[in-house]
Chains A and B, each alone.
Chain A
């Protein structure tokens, strides 16, 4: 126990030093599809990633201060407050962002013992250098080692994006994204890039545990893949298509999924966006640790989605996604096709600028029409509140009830979770 506390203390010191260095750090920070309420249908005005999430542009930083954070003075021009470290003028070619996100999680499983976790979800330094039309973008982070003391666990996040092998006593280095890209077109409306990137599929949202992101393995926490992508952003249409070469953080190679994924989104107005996505991947070996319904055999994994982001009135944004799933395996010469569906309906209500109340309902059915004895049906309900209370700082609490599990989630997921997160960035 003493050892565990020492390790935890060391980890906390490391975290504190990192924070002091660039101050605060957070995770694939930001990815707010509800920014459509402000008329921002696309993402790349505010993000370096044309499909959203991750390091902010100078404009994105400014908008965070102007329209995202609670204002304490009407019509106040934030000046340099949105700049890196609240004041630093960086060269226009350079973007820097240090993120810190910590989660305190209370798990109340059905019929089990309450568990407590402190999770350093993100401690990342991100950067982008753009010279002419060429970009170099990446992030490096640290995930502290896990320690346990009774029903309390301290751990790091993003372990699906480790540069190192399984984290040991010293923790792990995390690199969620790193890519080289070139902007193409008169208005640089195309971006061609190669490296490790978020997978273009469905609604890109910061709530990475959502079933639609976990089941399809397209979350922005650790679901990035290596590959080549081409993104387009126009006034009424945007999209991205990616050739997936595999997640090289996963070993051995048999488990790496290769194929393609993409989405297209149509924005008929500045308050409505409707999209469709498709993904097909193949791996020589299925991730039975990820989805216990799968056989230890090669797998073709399909996912097809439709989604919508709608802001009928400025305070309210509705997000919806419905995915059809198909896992196709050849087991002992016999073809097995397992269908499934997963869906999300989320409402974001901004009761006052910077203060959000969020509610979401999800469902997952893993074996629609299957004769297999394995058949998972899970429903999840979220209710949360989020306050962007100070420059570069936000605090969030959530309560989540889940009736069961789904691929990517713990097998014994049934129960209630209470989450409290603090996030800051430089």
Chain B
């Protein structure tokens, strides 16, 4: 179950989003951040949080996912994940930093999707990650979705293991949020 803990990391990653050239964006609504981890024997772990912040700094955009309320559905597993593996006391957030120029935005109503590279910081380690994103402009709002794949070992996170069950280090992260320009 501990394996799940790591998962946290994942969440942040996915955050891809698009911004238009000059307009600053800010998050609206309730975001959805999830990571998907797996273990032996078909075991699947899904961790979720609805906390995500967008910091549009102009030349780049930082997506920050607080990890304190990351839940996998089992309290003890969450406890292990946050304290033993993510160590959120020292590393409370996962952050994806993306150059604005790496993102494409729809012109007018519509949607665009693409792949980009950003800098992911988790557990005190930073590594470039590739992610896939979709940005749709609907009614003046941007609906942003992103997915990425992480290896928790890249971030110095121990591979979770509990009572003989060890989680695989690879996790998938997906993020969805809306933003206003």
Contact = CB atoms under 8 A, between A and B. Distances in A.
Given A66-B74, A66-B76, A92-B164, A41 B42 contact: yes
Contact of A42 (B41, B79, B163): B41
Contacts of A92: 164
Contact of B44 (A63, A187, A189, A235): A235
Interface in A62-79: 62-63, 66-67, 74-77
Q: Determine chain A's interface SS by DSSP, over half rule.
A: loop
Nearest to B164: A58
A42 B164 CA distance: 17
A67 B163 CA distance: 14
Interface core residue of B42, B74, B165 (most chain A CB under 10 Å): B42
Contacts of B43: 40, 42, 45, 235
B163 A187 contact: no
Contacts of B45: 39
A75 B79 CA distance: 7
A213 interface: no
Interface in A217-243: 233-236, 238
B167 to A, nearest CB: 11
B42 A233 contact: yes
B178 to A, nearest CB: 24
B4 to A, nearest CB: 10
Contacts of B38: 235
B42 to A, nearest CB: 4
Category for how many chain A residues contact B? 20 to 34
B75 interface: yes
Nearest to B73: A39
Nearest to B40: A187
Nearest to B75: A75
B46 interface: yes
Per DSSP, chain B at the interface is mixed
B164 A57 contact: yes
B107 to A, nearest CB: 36
Interface in A33-85: 38-42, 44-45, 50, 57-59, 61-63, 66-67, 74-77, 82
A41 B44 CA distance: 8
B44 A270 contact: yes
B5 to A, nearest CB: 13
Contacts of A38: 73-74
A235 B73 CA distance: 18
Nearest to B76: A66
Contacts of A58: 163-164
A42 B72 CA distance: 17
A44 B163 contact: no
Contacts of B42: 41-42, 44-45, 189, 233-236, 238, 267
Contacts of A50: 41
A314 B48 CA distance: 15
Contacts of A253: none
A188 interface: yes
Contact of A61 (B74, B76, B77, B163): B163
B75 A59 contact: no
B73 A314 contact: yes
Interface string B66-82: 00000011111101000
Contact of B162 (A62, A74, A189, A235): A62
Interface in A187-221: 187-189
B114 interface: no
B106 interface: no
A233 B38 CA distance: 13
Contact of B165 (A41, A59, A234): A59
Contacts of B164: 57-59, 92
A62 B77 CA distance: 11
Given A38-B74, A39-B45, A66-B76, 19 more contacts: A39-B46, A39-B74, A44-B41, A44-B42, A45-B43, A57-B164, A59-B164, A59-B165, A62-B163, A63-B1, A75-B79, A76-B76, A92-B164, A187-B40, A189-B42, A233-B41, A235-B38, A238-B42, A267-B42
7 closest cross-chain pairs (CB), A and B: A42-B42, A233-B42, A59-B163, A62-B163, A44-B41, A59-B165, A58-B163
